[in-house]
C-alpha cells in the first residue's frame, strides 16, 4: 500500500522558521517532491530529493532520509505570501507515478 | 512558452451524465497525468498516459477513462457521474527526456466539476 502522512494544519509567525514533516510508506521510492498550493490555484513545484540529505533553494530547504521514510520542508524568514498548502509527494516507480499526501495548510500570522 | 492548459475551467453536471475534460501539456512534455482533488485534500492519482497508452492507474473505477492523442494532449472522461465526483480535476505534464529529469509535474489550473 501507499501512505504519506503530514500534519493537517500549522501556524507560524511572519519572519520566523517553520518545519513541515512528511513520513511515507510506499511500495517503491524514486524521489520525493514538495509542492506549494495557494487556495484556488494549481500546485507549483518547490523541491526534489532523491538522495539522503538537505537540498537548499533560497528560503526553502528540503531534507530526506530514505532509511526512515522521512522528509521535511523548512521555510525560513516567513512571509505572509507563504500562507498556502504544502504537499509532500513520492514518485513510487521509475515510470513516474507520483502520489501525494493530503497536504499541510500553513497559516502565517503577522 | 505555454504551460499546461485545461478546459473547461468550471462545469456543472447532473448525476448520471457524462463529462469530458481536456488538457494540453507543456511544450516539450510527453507524459500526462490526471489527478482528482477534493476540497481540503491532496491530489489523488487517477491515471497516466504516455505514448498514447495508459501506463499507470490509481484506485479509480472504470467509469474514469482517458485518451492521449499523437500531439500529447489528453482527455479525461467520466461516465455515470456521482455526487462524489465533484472535485477539482488537475492535469499535470512531465517529460521523460533525461535532460530534464527530476520528472517534476507541471500542473494546469484545473477543471472544477460540480455534480448536482
List pLDDT tens digits, range A28-87. Answer: 898 999 999 999 899 999 999 999 999 999 999 999 999 999 999 999 999 999 999 999
The pLDDT, as a whole number, for residue B32 is 95
Do A96 and B31 make contact, defined as CB atoms within 8 angstroms? yes
Q: What is the mean pLDDT of residues B49-71?
A: 94
Percentages helix, strand, coil for chain B (3-state, rounded to 5) are 5, 50, 45
Strand order through the sheet with A70-75: A3-5, A18-25, A70-75, A60-65, A53-57
Q: Nearest to residue B93, comparing CAs of B28, B21, B16, B11? A: B28
Do B56 and A97 make contact, defined as CB atoms within 8 angstroms? yes
More confident residue, A94 or B95: B95
Rounded CA-CA distance A3/A92 in Å is 11
CB-nearest to B42 from A41, A91, A103 is: A103
More confident residue, B87 or A27: B87
pLDDT digits (tens, 9 = 90+) for B98-113: 655 567 899 999 999 9
Average per-residue pLDDT in chain B?
Answer: 92
Amino acid at each position: 500500500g501507499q501512505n504519506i502522512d503530514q500534519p493537517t494544519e500549522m501556524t507560524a509567525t511572519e519572519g520566523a522558521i517553520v518545519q513541515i514533516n512528511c513520513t511515507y510508506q510506499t511500495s517503491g521510492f524514486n524521489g520525493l517532491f514538495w509542492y506549494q498550493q495557494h487556495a484556488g490555484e494549481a500546485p507549483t513545484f518547490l523541491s526534489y530529493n532523491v538522495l539522503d540529505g538537505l537540498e537548499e533553494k533560497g528560503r526553502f530547504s528540503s531534507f530526506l532520509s530514505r532509511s526512515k521514510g522521512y522528509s521535511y520542508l523548512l521555510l525560513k524568514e516567513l512571509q505572509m505570501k507563504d500562507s498556502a498548502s504544502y504537499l509532500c509527494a513520492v514518485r513510487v516507480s521509475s515510470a513516474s507515478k507520483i502520489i501525494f499526501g493530503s497536504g499541510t495548510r500553513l497559516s502565517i500570522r503577522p | 512558452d505555454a504551460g499546461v492548459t485545461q478546459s473547461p475551467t468550471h462545469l456543472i453536471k447532473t448525476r448520471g451524465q457524462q463529462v469530458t475534460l481536456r488538457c494540453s501539456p507543456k511544450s516539450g512534455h510527453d507524459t500526462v497525468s490526471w489527478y482528482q482533488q477534493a476540497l481540503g485534500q491532496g491530489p489523488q492519482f487517477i491515471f497516466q498516459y504516455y505514448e498514447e497508452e495508459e501506463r499507470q492507474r490509481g484506485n479509480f473505477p472504470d467509469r474514469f477513462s482517458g485518451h492521449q492523442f499523437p500531439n500529447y494532449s489528453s482527455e479525461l472522461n467520466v461516465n455515470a457521474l456521482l455526487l462524489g465526483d465533484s472535485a477539482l480535476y488537475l492535469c499535470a505534464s512531465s517529460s521523460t527526456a533525461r535532460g530534464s529529469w527530476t520528472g517534476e509535474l507541471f500542473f494546469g489550473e484545473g477543471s472544477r466539476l460540480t455534480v448536482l
